[in-house]
Amino acid sequence: MPLSQATPLLLREPGFLFSALLASAEPLHAAAGSSYDADPWPVAWIPWGPTLEGSVFGHATNVEPVRVAELFEAVAYSVTEVTTTLAFAVTNFTLHNMARAMNAPSSAVTTVSGTGATLSSKLEPPDPETIVRRMIGWESLDHTLRLVGRQCLNGGEIQSNFARGATPAGIATVWNFERPASGKAFAFYGAGTGRLGA
């Protein structure tokens, strides 16, 4: 039987990003018509808005060799560390998005004066004892794939470029996934048999 190459089920375009407080209810992840489009994220999940260049998922496994004096090659490898991250730069430049990126509680954003068009608000960085972890969610643009990080801390440099030109300023973040007290650090969800694969 001759070999043939199937057309791959590609994953393209940036998708949607969300943030929620720890222990917030996840979506049901109920697929219909090979899609999660009819399964909304609960109201606790706040959209981050558009990004500069989408998001980058990273899952790094560190292994170290087990060696014996009599052999050159390693006789085994041992997994010593796993690091999972999701990095993105949000262009929806708001005080609440900045607060989330600083691992600050929502109370870090306060009203100085006024309401509506006269509203003046203030964000100050958090103190060590007020740092909060968050849940981070992502869904593909075609609504066939989801990622939920159940306990995340932004450990990257919040870097925003206030410059002239066509590129807007963004709030750059790198979310580090931690293992919560119960359950796994994260989960991917796929809708339909196509995202399941062989």
- Quote the tokens at residue 78: 């041992």
CB-CB contact of 99 with 107 (8 Å):
no
User: Which pLDDT tens digit goes with each residue over 30-85?
Assistant: 999 999 999 999 999 999 999 999 999 999 999 999 999 999 999 999 999 999 99
Burial of 37: CB neighbours in 10 Å, binned 0-12, 13-18, 19+: middle
Of 100, 118, 117, nearest in space to 109 by CA: 100
pLDDT digits (tens, 9 = 90+) for 155-187: 978 878 888 888 888 999 999 999 999 999 999
pLDDT tens digit string along 109-162?
Answer: 999 999 999 999 999 999 999 999 999 999 999 999 999 999 999 997 887 888
Question: CB of 70 within 8 A of CB of 157?
Answer: no
Question: Do the Cβ atoms of 35 and 192 come closer than 8 Å?
Answer: yes
**CA dist 17 to 49, 88, 152, 168, Å?**
7, 9, 14, 18
Length of the chain: 198
**pTM of the model as a whole:** 0.91
Q: What end-to-end distance do the CA atoms of the chain give, in Å? A: 19
Q: Following DSSP, what letter does each residue of 3-42 receive, concatenated?
A: ---PPP----S--EEEEEETTPPPP----SSS-STTSPPP
